[in-house]
């Protein structure tokens, strides 16, 4: 008799059967129910008695033999979709990792990938693939939930636990805040705002469009750790991106001070970095640039908060208005500064921060030490962050930060930077004037105007010197833009700049409404003359106020205090700059000299200048005075002195003067012309000195470190060289020891390369003793004179006479580090042995191994490229390509040499350049120190103490020759 269907306790209920028949794998919980259902049905099947007449076949696997062939069959059935599943997952992860720290919204993309994966996943489970996959995923989910539970327990309160976000929501919130924060940074830093020149013209320009990459180099190489010295002149010198890249390898570069005089663009540099990181364009400047979160803090604005509250860095950042109004996530800055994994998730990836403190010198002097100590503490507290600090030199030296290991100086603009800035500046002005339109016509207008200004700067040495300062270059461009052209005479140019800077300020406030341009100029003239009388450029606020108080009250009454006048001229006009805190000076010495000359003229105090004819501090002021009035008395007094400086000054004034009495003009010209042909050797020498000194002051600038003469050395100037040195180095076409009568001002010819170089060596020394040098004066650099190379003759085509080109003297002024003075002198005088020893000494000095007298292997790899180039160029120049590092490297490569040491190649190399003869390496005293030596014979390598003195006392070992191989490789890596 059939029994009713009543399930026993160990049998499944109807509800369980329904669950089994309706497997829903849309969630992991339902997947678990399916697994449990299958298990119950399996138990029921196994426990049913054989006599049971009811056979319920519900479990789909009950009658299926689970064998190896079953798994293979199931695997093959789902195999086609597995690659698609993993490829989709991989693409989702890769795209998310690449763009998650940018401003790109990935929400829709994330949802799309999740939808695709979910569909594939459901399909897999719907095919009844074995339940191990679902079980594995379930176990992973349980583990993750347990981990999250453990993280919940780390929090202090129930409310904080409730506030925890899921990994996805936290990352999403972080991304949204980061976008808001970056947008705010862009709004604050996108305008070109040169400090000290608040208005650059009728339009506000985009910083990114006009910015010129600044050149940075260590203030002192001793502050750079060994092993990093190669970056000293990395890109001649390096840009900021190179130092940020170096910070990833060298911990000492994670805290850098950037110092420079006023107007060199320190603040602009930091804002440019902020803009590039906020816009995610940093990698366009250097592919190796690290990805950083930019944080900029202006110390002048936050100094009181630091002193009063002593906050930690994250707290101070969150107090900033641009951060606070964007509702920063709790501990977001803290986590990124420390590179922590946020407590709420293991999936949130932190980033390094770039913390920039601007203007230590702008902090009140009595608080500067406290601020410096606070900055030092933050550097210690957050070792993973990169810190940049800007300051004017005196401001930093008065309160140095202990943990800052690298101090970089911003170099002046070079000629390429000047040209690039002017072109960008004019192009952006043209575009803005046409409401953002850009076409070929606008480009042509911008090119025409910028080319005109560039040409004027090149042809005016005073203007070229001013253009090296970004602030002054902006002034010059502004004047040129307003006026359409620059005046031809210097005195008119300075007048134009003062007029534009003091007068045309549509958006200025306060002082611009109270005083006219002429009134402000009257006050500044008094200040300028006072500073000239004190032989100084600097003044503090109290002193300056007392100097101008009387004249200011005469033009402004009680409407304006002296302190406010000085500060407003600095803030609005830019003619004064705050060099240090409350220490001011004129933006350029030329402005001080011009205004002092105007004051002397208007107050009729010419006697001041007559008494200062022998004081070179006053010479430019005297010239600018003569350019505005009658220079007869100045020139007449100078003629009565009959010395080099007085006669040179008299000739300068005669050329620039507004007017001169004819009798005095003729007397001056006759004195010089007669002196050049005089039989009295002392009178001739004086006239020749005046002529030569004026030549050196008129060289044409071709870049920031070179000036070229536009004519050849004359016979009388060469006669001066012979008389001063006592050398009987007479040209071939002279009869005796003197030039022919009437030839004093003709170019000297018939001079050999060697003798012409001796003339240049003498000229370098003479110009220093007479304090007469070209205007390329840079700290720790010196002026040198040499001949033009063949390449330079072709590059700067002066339509030379072929004879003069070969045997005349055409000089070039170059600026080199002062440490090369002795080497330059030895080489130009062909003292090869001394030059060889000086080369070894220099390389040991540069590498910091002078005391050890040995250049260790580890220093070869990082030897500064710029120093290698300078030493090589000097040897190449003096030997006309016969000696030099590059010559040796080229021979080594030509013989088959590589970066790896080869004894066979080295023996061939040694024999070729004359270091090895008959299977024996030479001693140092066997080297040949003249031009008869084989090609590449000198310089001998300073890998060992003092050249070859150690190397050749024994047979060279493989290790020693390997070091020289490394040095040759370094030469090649430096681009030689």
Choice among 500-514, 674-688, 852-866 with the minimum mean pLDDT = 500-514
pLDDT band at 314 (very low <50, low <70, confident <90, very high): very high
**Tokens 């000239």, residue?**
532
Give the pLDDT confidence of 667-714 residue by residue, as tens digits.
999 999 999 999 999 999 999 999 999 999 888 877 767 888 888 999
**696-722: string of b/e by CB count within 10 Å (b at 16+)?**
beebebbebbbbbbeebbbbbbbbbbb
pLDDT band at 191 (very low <50, low <70, confident <90, very high): confident
Name 480's Cβ contacts closer than 8 Å, sequence gap at least 6: 449, 452, 453, 456, 486
**Cα–Cα distance between 14 and 173 in angstroms, integer?**
47
**244-250 CB contacts, 8 Å cutoff, 24+ apart:** 244/289, 244/290, 244/292, 244/354, 244/386, 245/286, 245/288, 245/289, 245/290, 247/290, 247/386, 248/290, 250/225
**Cα–Cα distance between 27 and 716 in angstroms, integer?**
101
Choice among 194-208, 307-321, 818-832 with the minimum mean pLDDT = 194-208
If one counts every other C-beta atom within 10 angstroms of the C-beta of residue 558, the result is 7
Calculate the dihedral angle through the C-alpha atoms of 663, 666, 668, 674, rounding to the nearest 10 degrees.
-140
3 state DSSP class of 592 = helix
Strands 920-921 and 706-708: unpaired
In this predicted structure, the answer to whether residue 338 has a pLDDT above a threshold of 50 is: yes
In this predicted structure, the answer to whether residue 63 has a pLDDT above a threshold of 60 is: no
Q: Are 794 and 776 in contact (CB under 8 A)?
A: no
In this predicted structure, the answer to whether residue 158 has a pLDDT above a threshold of 50 is: no
Mean pLDDT of 448-475: 82
Residue 637 vs residue 774, higher pLDDT: 637
In this predicted structure, the answer to whether residue 312 has a pLDDT above a threshold of 50 is: yes
pLDDT for residue 370:
94
3 state DSSP class of 816 = strand
In this predicted structure, the answer to whether residue 319 has a pLDDT above a threshold of 50 is: yes
In this predicted structure, the answer to whether residue 939 has a pLDDT above a threshold of 70 is: yes
| E strand or H helix that includes residue 476 | helix 470-483
Choice among 225-229, 789-793, 835-839 with the minimum mean pLDDT = 225-229
In this predicted structure, the answer to whether residue 28 has a pLDDT above a threshold of 50 is: no
**Cα–Cα distance between 333 and 339 in angstroms, integer?**
10
pLDDT for residue 75:
52
Structure token pair of residue 570: 């600095």
Share of the chain above pLDDT 70, in %: 72
pTM for the full model? Answer: 0.61
Counting every residue written for the chain, the total comes to 976
**Cα-Cα-Cα-Cα dihedral sign, residues 48, 53, 56, 60:** positive
pLDDT band at 144 (very low <50, low <70, confident <90, very high): low
Q: Are 268 and 194 in contact (CB under 8 A)?
A: yes
In this predicted structure, the answer to whether residue 528 has a pLDDT above a threshold of 90 is: yes
pLDDT for residue 38:
41
CA atoms within 13 A on the CB side of 684: 20
pLDDT for residue 47:
42
In this predicted structure, the answer to whether residue 412 has a pLDDT above a threshold of 90 is: no
Strands 576-580 and 583-586: antiparallel
Q: Which of 965, 961, 970, 974 is nearest to 898 (CA)?
A: 965
pLDDT for residue 521:
93
| E strand or H helix that includes residue 578 | strand 576-580
pLDDT band at 770 (very low <50, low <70, confident <90, very high): confident
**443-475: string of b/e by CB count within 10 Å (b at 16+)?**
eebbeebbebbbebbbebbebbbbbbbbbbbbb
Q: Are 557 and 618 in contact (CB under 8 A)?
A: no
Give the pLDDT confidence of 703-747 residue by residue, as tens digits.
767 888 888 999 999 999 999 998 888 998 888 889 999 999 999
Residue 957 vs residue 346, higher pLDDT: 957
Name 509's Cβ contacts closer than 8 Å, sequence gap at least 6: 572
| E strand or H helix that includes residue 700 | strand 700-703
pLDDT band at 98 (very low <50, low <70, confident <90, very high): low
**Cα–Cα distance between 718 and 747 in angstroms, integer?**
9
3 state DSSP class of 390 = strand
pLDDT band at 204 (very low <50, low <70, confident <90, very high): low
**Cα–Cα distance between 438 and 169 in angstroms, integer?**
44
Name 293's Cβ contacts closer than 8 Å, sequence gap at least 6: 178, 277, 336, 351, 352, 353, 354
Give the pLDDT confidence of 903-938 residue by residue, as tens digits.
888 889 889 999 888 888 888 788 999 999 999 999
**Cα–Cα distance between 637 and 648 in angstroms, integer?**
13
When mean pLDDT is compared over 29-33, 123-127, 646-650, the highest value belongs to: 646-650
In this predicted structure, the answer to whether residue 76 has a pLDDT above a threshold of 60 is: no
**279-286 CB contacts, 8 Å cutoff, 24+ apart:** 279/182, 279/186, 279/208, 280/102, 280/103, 282/241, 285/213, 285/239, 285/241, 286/239, 286/241, 286/242, 286/245
Q: What is the mean pLDDT of the chain?
A: 77
Choice among 74-88, 142-156, 268-282, 440-454 with the minimum mean pLDDT = 142-156
Q: Which of 583, 774, 786 is nearest to 697 (CA)?
A: 774
pLDDT for residue 624:
94
User: Which residues share a beta bridge with 357?
Assistant: 297, 389
In this predicted structure, the answer to whether residue 313 has a pLDDT above a threshold of 90 is: yes
pLDDT band at 538 (very low <50, low <70, confident <90, very high): very high
């Amino acid at each position: 008799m059939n029994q009713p269907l009543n399930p026993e306790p160990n049998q499944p209920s109807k509800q369980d059967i329904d669950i089994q028949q309706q497997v829903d794998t849309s969630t992991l919980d339902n997947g678990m129910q399916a697994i449990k259902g299958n298990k119950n049905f399996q138990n029921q099947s196994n426990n049913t008695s054989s006599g049971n007449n009811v056979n319920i076949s519900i479990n789909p696997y009950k009658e299926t033999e689970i064998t190896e062939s079953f798994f293979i069959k199931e695997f093959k059935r789902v195999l086609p979709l597995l690659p698609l599943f993993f490829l989709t997952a991989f693409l989702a992860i890769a795209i998310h990792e690449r763009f998650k720290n940018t401003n790109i919204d990935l929400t829709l993309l994330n949802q799309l990938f999740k939808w695709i994966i979910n569909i594939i996943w459901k399909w897999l489970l719907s095919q009844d693939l074995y339940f191990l996959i679902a079980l594995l995923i379930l176990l992973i989910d349980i583990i993750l939930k347990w981990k999250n539970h453990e993280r919940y327990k780390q929090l202090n309160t129930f409310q904080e636990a409730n506030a925890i976000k899921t990994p996805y929501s936290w990352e999403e919130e972080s991304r949204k805040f980061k976008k808001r924060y970056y947008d705010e940074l862009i709004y604050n830093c996108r305008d070109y705002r040169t400090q000290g020149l608040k208005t650059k013209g009728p339009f506000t320009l985009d910083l990114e469009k006009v910015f010129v990459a600044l050149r940075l180099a260590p203030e002192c190489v001793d502050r750079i750790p060994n092993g990093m010295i190669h970056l000293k002149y990395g890109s001649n010198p390096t840009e900021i991106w190179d130092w940020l890249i170096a910070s990833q390898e060298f911990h000492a570069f994670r805290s850098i001070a950037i110092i420079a005089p006023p107007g060199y663009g320190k603040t602009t540099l930091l804002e440019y970095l902020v803009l590039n990181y906020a816009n995610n364009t940093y990698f366009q400047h250097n592919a190796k640039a690290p990805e950083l979160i930019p944080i900029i803090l202006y110390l002048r604005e936050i100094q009181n908060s630091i002193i009063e509250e002593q906050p930690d860095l994250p707290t101070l950042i969150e107090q900033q208005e641009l951060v606070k109004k964007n509702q920063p996530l709790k501990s977001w800055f803290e986590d990124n500064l420390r590179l922590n994994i946020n407590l709420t998730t293991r999936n949130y990836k932190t980033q390094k921060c770039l913390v920039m403190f601007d203007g230590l010198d702008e902090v009140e002097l009595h608080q500067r030490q406290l601020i410096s100590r606070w900055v030092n503490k933050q550097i210690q507290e957050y070792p993973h962050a990169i810190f940049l600090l800007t300051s004017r030199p005196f401001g930093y030296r008065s309160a140095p930060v202990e943990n800052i290991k690298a101090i970089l100086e911003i170099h002046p603009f070079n000629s390429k930077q000047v040209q690039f800035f002017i072109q960008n500046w004019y192009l952006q002005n043209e575009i803005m004037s046409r409401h953002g339109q850009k076409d070929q016509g606008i480009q042509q207008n911008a090119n025409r105007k910028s080319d005109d200004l560039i040409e004027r700067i090149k042809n005016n040495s005073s203007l070229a010197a001013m253009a090296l300062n970004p602030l002054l270059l902006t002034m010059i461009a502004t004047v040129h833009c307003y006026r359409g052209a620059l005046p031809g005479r210097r005195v008119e140019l300075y007048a134009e700049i003062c007029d534009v800077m003091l007068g045309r300020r549509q958006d200025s406030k306060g002082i611009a409404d109270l005083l006219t341009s002429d009134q402000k100029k009257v006050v500044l003239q008094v200040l300028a003359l006072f500073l000239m009388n004190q032989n100084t450029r600097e003044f503090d606020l109290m002193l300056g106020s007392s100097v101008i108080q009387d004249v200011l009250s005469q033009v402004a009454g009680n409407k304006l205090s002296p302190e406010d006048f000085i500060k407003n001229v600095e803030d609005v006009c830019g003619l004064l700059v705050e060099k240090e805190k409350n220490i001011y000076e004129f933006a350029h010495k030329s402005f001080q000299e011009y205004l002092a000359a105007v004051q002397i003229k208007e107050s009729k105090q010419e006697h001041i200048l007559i008494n200062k004819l022998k004081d070179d501090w006053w010479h430019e002021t005297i010239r600018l005075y003569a350019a505005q009035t009658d220079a007869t008395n100045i020139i007449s007094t100078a003629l009565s002195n009959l010395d080099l400086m007085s006669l040179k000054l008299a000739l300068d004034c005669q050329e620039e003067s507004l007017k001169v009495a004819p009798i005095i003009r003729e007397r001056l010209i006759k004195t010089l012309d007669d002196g050049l042909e005089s039989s009295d050797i002392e009178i001739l020498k004086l006239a020749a000195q005046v002529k030569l000194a004026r030549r050196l002051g008129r060289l044409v600038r071709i870049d920031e470190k070179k000036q070229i003469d536009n004519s050849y050395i004359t016979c009388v100037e060469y006669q001066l060289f012979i008389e001063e040195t006592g050398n009987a180095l007479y040209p071939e076409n002279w009869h005796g020891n003197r030039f022919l009568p009437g030839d004093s001002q003709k170019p000297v010819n018939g001079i050999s390369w060697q003798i012409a170089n001796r003339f240049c060596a003498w000229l370098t020394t003479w110009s220093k003793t007479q304090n007469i040098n070209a205007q390329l004066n840079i700290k720790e650099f010196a002026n040198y004179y040499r001949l033009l190379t063949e390449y330079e003759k072709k590059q700067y085509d002066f339509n030379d006479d072929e004879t003069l080109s070969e045997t005349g003297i055409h000089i070039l002024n170059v600026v080199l580090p002062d440490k090369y003075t002795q080497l330059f002198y030895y080489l130009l005088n062909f003292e090869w042995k001394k030059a060889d020893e000086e080369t070894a000494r220099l390389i040991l000095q540069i590498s910091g191994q002078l005391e050890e007298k040995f250049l260790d292997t580890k220093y070869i790899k990082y030897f500064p490229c710029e120093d290698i180039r300078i030493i090589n160029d000097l040897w190449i120049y003096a030997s006309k390509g016969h000696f030099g590092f590059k010559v040796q490297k080229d021979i080594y490569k030509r013989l088959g040499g590589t970066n790896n040491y080869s004894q066979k190649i080295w023996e061939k190399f040694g024999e070729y350049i004359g270091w090895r003869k008959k299977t024996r390496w030479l001693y140092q005293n066997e080297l040949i120190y003249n031009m008869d030596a084989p090609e590449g014979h000198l310089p001998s390598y300073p890998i060992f103490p003092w050249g070859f003195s150690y190397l050749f006392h024994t047979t060279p070992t493989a290790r020693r020759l390997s070091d020289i191989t490394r040095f040759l490789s370094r030469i090649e890596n430096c681009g030689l």
